[in-house]
Amino acid sequence: MRNVQLKRLIFIGVFLIGLWVPLHNVHAEEGQGEARKGNNYESRPLALKKIDTSETFARFVYDSGLDFEYPDAVRGIYVTGNSAGGSRFESLLELVENSDLNAMVIDIKEDHGNLTFMPDKDSPYYDIAKPFIKDPRKMLEVLEEKGIYPIARVVVFKDSILAEKQPELSFRENGEIWRNGRGEAFVNPFLKEVWEYNVGIAKMAAKLGFQDIQFDYVRFPEGFEKRADDLQYNQGEYADLDISEVDKRVKAVTDFVEYAHKELENFGVDVSVDIFGYSATIPAAPGIGQDFSKISANVDVISSMIYPSHWTAYFGIPFPDKEPYKLVSEYAKVENQVLSKLEDPPTSRPWIQDFEAPWLYSGAPTEYGKAEVEAQIRALNEHGIKEFLLWNPGNSYTPNVDYTPLD
């Protein structure tokens, strides 16, 4: 590939030089005898045309030195930095190798805002790093050897670390950094400095050899529309736009996704975004700024979080956590309709549930085991959605699941 690109550039260079050097008529005109002598050459004016070589140069793609083949369909699990760098990693490798799973989504920038590995000491991200993954390159080489597709998870706007370091990039209340009910701080999606900060981390992951950069928490805090007027924050270049506050938030989030995708074009990676499942069922989520169609139009993969436990009564289902098959099936119908309206729809790769939700119950919760996990996968597959990711926050996954139940 690189040799072909080099030949193209050499050809273009020679062609341009040929245009710059005057061309002369050295042939005898028919019936005039011998050719004119050199100092009597006739010069012909040339109409020079500007050639756009940007497309040629854009074809150069960063080569990490690792070689991964895209699976027939990505079927993956979530892996924390602690798990990836600890003893649990061996058991997770064994789970994937001995099943129809084939991918891992690994935290590179986690939910607090920490990098999960130590970069070079001169890196601007060195002081936010934790040595959870001792040698990320070696880890990726193991995944390459075993044919496991690596996806880097980068948590974007939920970032307590950056908010504390630079409060001007966050949301403030009465002069203090605002935090949600779980004590988590967010940084401001309106600010391009925040965009660049996160995309810089994504580029590091791509250079390491990850094949897909998955951005999570690509949104404003939940319920932001209820407190937007009470918080202090900078809207940057969005402040003077003559559109509603809801539209400003949607535009900022969508613009970030578009920016990230463009910045990563030359790294040979897919760009994916995690998104609330319910956002596919409404025109736009007014508080958090997520517009399912607009985000989907700017990514390679869209990963809706459709955990049954995260829905209130919806689709006519009174208690979705108790009916995983029906919830996922009804969602898949809606998503397929929305994506079918896009000119170039992304791959659908939803997050599904492999955990219990005791907070929903006064007694024992619905257990999520083999039957419940397979029910969700079957519902997706029946609607033509072949890819999925399993979420369990502790990375303790149900054994003996048939991850291709329709085969």
Question: How far apart, in whole angstroms, are the C-alpha atoms of residue 82 and residue 86?
Answer: 6
Residue 32 has pLDDT above 50, yes or no: no
Write down the pLDDT at residue 278.
Answer: 95
Residue 296 has pLDDT above 90, yes or no: yes
Q: What is the pLDDT of residues 269-280, one digit of tens each?
A: 999 999 999 999
Domain boundary, last residue among 38, 55, 72: 55
Q: Name 248's Cβ contacts closer than 8 Å, sequence gap at least 6.
A: 190, 235, 238, 241
Q: Name 227's Cβ contacts closer than 8 Å, sequence gap at least 6.
A: 178
Helix (H) or strand (E) holding 382: helix 370-382
Q: Do 26 and 138 belong to one domain?
A: no
pTM of the model: 0.86
Q: Do 310 and 337 belong to one domain?
A: yes
Q: Do 190 and 246 belong to one domain?
A: yes
Query: What are the φ and ψ backbone dihedral angles of 85, each rounded to 5 degrees?
Result: -100, 5
User: Counting beta carbons within 10 angstroms of the beta carbon of residue 47, is it exposed (0 to 12), middle (13 to 18) or buried (19 or more)?
Assistant: exposed
Q: Do 42 and 71 belong to one domain?
A: no
Question: Residue 82, Cβ neighbours under 10 Å: how many?
Answer: 17
Q: What is the pLDDT of residues 109-140, one digit of tens each?
A: 999 999 999 999 999 999 999 999 999 999 99
What is the average per-residue pLDDT within 139-146?
A: 98
Q: Do 110 and 181 belong to one domain?
A: yes
pLDDT exceeding 70 applies to what percent of the chain?
86
Band of the pLDDT at 25, cuts 50, 70, 90? very low
User: Domain count of the chain?
Assistant: 2
Query: What are the φ and ψ backbone dihedral angles of 51, each rounded to 5 degrees?
Result: -105, 130
Residue 24 has pLDDT above 70, yes or no: no
Residue 44 has pLDDT above 90, yes or no: no
Residue 37 has pLDDT above 70, yes or no: no
Tokens representing 107?
A: 């935290």
What is the average per-residue pLDDT within 31-39?
A: 35
Query: What are the φ and ψ backbone dihedral angles of 150, each rounded to 5 degrees?
Result: -100, 130
In a domain, 407, yes or no: no
Q: Do 69 and 36 belong to one domain?
A: no
User: Counting beta carbons within 10 angstroms of the beta carbon of residue 19, is it exposed (0 to 12), middle (13 to 18) or buried (19 or more)?
Assistant: middle
Q: Do 301 and 321 belong to one domain?
A: yes
Helix 192-208, helix 136-146: angle, nearest 10? 60
In a domain, 352, yes or no: yes
In a domain, 230, yes or no: yes
Q: What is the pLDDT of residues 75-107, one digit of tens each?
A: 999 999 999 999 999 999 999 999 999 999 999
Write down the pLDDT at residue 61.
Answer: 85
Mean pLDDT score of the chain: 89
Q: What is the pLDDT of residues 331-344, one digit of tens each?
A: 999 999 999 999 99
Residue 304 has pLDDT above 90, yes or no: yes
Write down the pLDDT at residue 9.
Answer: 43
Band of the pLDDT at 21, cuts 50, 70, 90? very low
In a domain, 403, yes or no: no
What is the average per-residue pLDDT within 310-327?
A: 98
In a domain, 243, yes or no: yes
Print burial letters for 332-356: b (CB count within 10 Å at least 16), e (below 16): bebbeebbeeeeebbbbbbbbbbbb
Neighbouring-strand partners of residue 149:
103
Q: What is the pLDDT of residues 149-196, one digit of tens each?
A: 999 999 999 999 999 999 999 999 999 999 999 999 999 999 999 999
In a domain, 242, yes or no: yes
Write down the pLDDT at residue 56.
Answer: 41
Write down the pLDDT at residue 368.
Answer: 98
Q: Do 9 and 156 belong to one domain?
A: no
Question: Residue 164, Cβ neighbours under 10 Å: how many?
Answer: 12
Q: Do 370 and 314 belong to one domain?
A: yes
Neighbouring-strand partners of residue 270:
212
Q: Do 99 and 132 belong to one domain?
A: yes
Q: Do 144 and 201 belong to one domain?
A: yes
In a domain, 347, yes or no: yes
Write down the pLDDT at residue 7.
Answer: 41
Query: What are the φ and ψ backbone dihedral angles of 281, each rounded to 5 degrees?
Result: -100, 0
Helix (H) or strand (E) holding 19: helix 2-20
In a domain, 404, yes or no: no
Q: Name 142's Cβ contacts closer than 8 Å, sequence gap at least 6.
A: 93
Is-contact 332 317, C-beta < 8 A? Answer: no
Question: How far apart, in whole angstroms, are the C-alpha atoms of residue 222 and residue 18?
Answer: 61
Question: How far apart, in whole angstroms, are the C-alpha atoms of residue 121 and residue 242?
Answer: 44
Neighbouring-strand partners of residue 304:
275
Which residue range(s) make up the domain with 50?
2-55
Residue 46 has pLDDT above 90, yes or no: no
Check which CATH number belongs to the domain holding 313 and give it. 3.20.20.80
Tokens representing 144?
A: 């390459």
The rounded radius of gyration (Å) of the Cα atoms in the chain is: 27
Question: How far apart, in whole angstroms, are the C-alpha atoms of residue 330 and residue 314?
Answer: 9
Q: Do 112 and 30 belong to one domain?
A: no
Neighbouring-strand partners of residue 177:
172
Question: How far apart, in whole angstroms, are the C-alpha atoms of residue 247 and residue 67?
Answer: 41
Question: How far apart, in whole angstroms, are the C-alpha atoms of residue 3 and residue 9?
Answer: 10
Write down the pLDDT at residue 59.
Answer: 57
Q: Which amino acid is at 200?
A: G
Q: Give the 3-state secondary structure of residue 172.
A: strand
Helix (H) or strand (E) holding 258: helix 245-263
Question: Residue 4, Cβ neighbours under 10 Å: how many?
Answer: 9
